[in-house]
Copies of this chain bind each other. A is one copy, B any other.
Amino acid sequence: MSIAIENFVKAIYKNGKRDNNDTKPGNIAKELGISNAAATDMAKKLAIKDLINYEKYQELKLTVKGNKMALNVIRKHRLWEALLFKLFDMSLHDIHREAELLEHQTSDLLANKISEYLGNPKFDPHGDPIPNADGEITTTDTSISLSNSEEGKNYIISRLMSDDKEFFDFCAQHGLKYGNTVLVSKQFSKNKMTQILINNNTILLNEDFTSIIYVNEQD
């Protein structure tokens, strides 16, 4: 299967997981940076290969086979991120970009070797779960986005769901990273801003950011 196909099923998987839940061709096209027509075209092809179920004008739905392929690619992506993060001093954004390419050129054997070397980690450096060799995510995620957090509570950052450089630069600058503690000091419901305290610094986040920063309540 080609790189284009792997990226396509991955995009369906990712968009399906997001709150909007939109897996129509247009949204996939946007994710991949291709035209809507190309996405429709590809959808038909993937249906023939039994990777998705395709009905005109409807959401694209991964078959069991397609889902497995998506998780296999995601596994490789996250294992590469974990390995590069451990070995090299590189920004998470750069690491993501490298993993985006390497994920398609990695045998199952090599993926397993990487996993074994790292002690079969369950999460990557973003806090995203790493599917196992059978394409299953065994960990349960109880985290919520900062948008849905409550004033006055302490949280531990569990995921930074983005591939965006600007966002990661901002995170690196302010200590927003996997495992760190934040206090939600104030929620401004009117303009959907959130004030947090992290590393003894108060910062203000808009919804673009709070919706992709996931946290768990601190006991």
Could you list which residues of chain A lie within 8 angstroms of chain B, going by C-beta atoms?
84, 87-90, 94, 97-98, 101-102, 104-107, 109-110, 113-114, 117
Q: Which of B90, B97, B106 contacts A113 (CB 8 A)?
A: B90
Q: Report B-chain residues with C-beta under 8 Å of the C-beta of A102.
A: 102, 105-106
Q: Report B-chain residues with C-beta under 8 Å of the C-beta of A106.
A: 98, 101-102
Asked whether, in the complex, the Cβ of A94 is within 8 Å of the Cβ of B117, the reply is no
Q: A87-B117, A88-B117, A113-B88 are in contact. Are A101 and B94 (CB under 8 A)?
A: no
In the bound complex, how far is the Cα of B98 from the Cα of A200, in angstroms? Answer: 46
Report, nearest first, the 7 A-B pairs whose CB atoms are least far apart: A101-B105, A88-B113, A98-B110, A105-B105, A102-B105, A87-B117, A88-B117
In the bound complex, how far is the Cα of B99 from the Cα of A107, in angstroms? Answer: 11
Given contacts A87-B117, A88-B113, A89-B113, 14 further A-B contacts (CB under 8 A): A84-B110, A88-B114, A88-B117, A90-B110, A90-B113, A94-B109, A98-B107, A98-B110, A101-B105, A101-B106, A102-B105, A102-B106, A104-B105, A105-B105
